[in-house]
Homo-oligomer: A and B are copies of this chain.
């Protein structure tokens, strides 16, 4: 049995709460949040509290709060033994105070108000200073996911950067595609099979090998036509820069 205290009430905390509650060999003994209203989600747990000084002894304390609050909040915690971990992709482990055993439990997923659809397959990236803590974290993470990676703070930072390209920037591409569709009375759903095919391809081939389109082909006349269709100068800049970068990647001259 692993005793866990969850600190935080945001989307990541909610996801962890939902997942941890279901596990037989994990005992979620407390959820700690700053104010009553944000604890609503956890109210069927009797141990949802607002008092950060009333934290009970546990094996693992999971700090699932905003990146820029991790250093400060972790300093104020009066923990008796146990392992303190944060859940951030871009904050180094050593931001946590060196007076405690410390580690990282990073679920690599995009979290919104609704539970993630692919919740069952979220990979966990773990890190700890001590071998026994890494083993403990691995046990905890394996109860939540089939995919657990031991990676360093530096690797995690790079992985988070890669995730920004793979999620935040692709979503912005979808936003721009959607905008063009809306402005021309075309249902965005028309692009659905294309989008599915694109993401399917990169799980079976390397993205380098499956690039298509006018920039890859060096088709300057279509690129010129597309630039004329774009109404905002920033969107034109994006089109030009990404086309140039694709050209650079494949060594073609535009």
* Chain A interface residues toward B at CB < 8 A: 67-68, 90, 108-112, 116-118, 121-123, 125, 147, 149, 151, 154-155, 157-178, 180-181, 183-187, 189-204, 206-208, 210-216, 219, 221-222, 225-226, 229-230, 234-235, 237-239, 241-242, 244-246, 248-249
Closest approach, in angstroms, between the C-beta of A191 and any C-beta of chain B? 5
Tell me whether B193 and A121 are in contact (CB under 8 A): yes
Q: At the interface, is chain A mostly helix, strand, loop or mixed?
A: helix
Q: Which of B180, B199, B208 contacts A199 (CB 8 A)?
A: B199
Q: Whose C-beta in chain B lies nearest to the C-beta of A111?
A: B212
Given A164-B226, A246-B172, are A196 and B193 also a contact pair (CB < 8 Å)? no
Tell me whether B180 and A161 are in contact (CB under 8 A): yes
A171 to B195, CA, bound (A): 10
Tell me whether A109 and B161 are in contact (CB under 8 A): no
Q: Whose C-beta in chain B lies nearest to the C-beta of A192?
A: B203
Interface pairs (25), CB distance under 8 Å: A90-B226, A110-B198, A112-B212, A121-B192, A123-B190, A149-B186, A155-B186, A158-B181, A159-B180, A159-B181, A163-B194, A164-B226, A165-B176, A166-B191, A166-B194, A167-B197, A168-B214, A170-B195, A170-B198, A171-B207, A172-B211, A172-B249, A195-B202, A234-B245, A234-B248
A118 to B204, CA, bound (A): 14
Q: Which of B178, B189, B213, B235 contacts A245 (CB 8 A)?
A: B235
Question: Could you say which residues of chain B place their CB within 8 Å of the CB of A167?
Answer: 194-195, 197-198, 212-213
Closest approach, in angstroms, between the C-beta of A197 and any C-beta of chain B? 5
Given A68-B221, A186-B158, are A174 and B170 also a contact pair (CB < 8 Å)? yes
Question: Could you say which residues of chain B place their CB within 8 Å of the CB of A158?
Answer: 180-181, 183-184, 186, 229
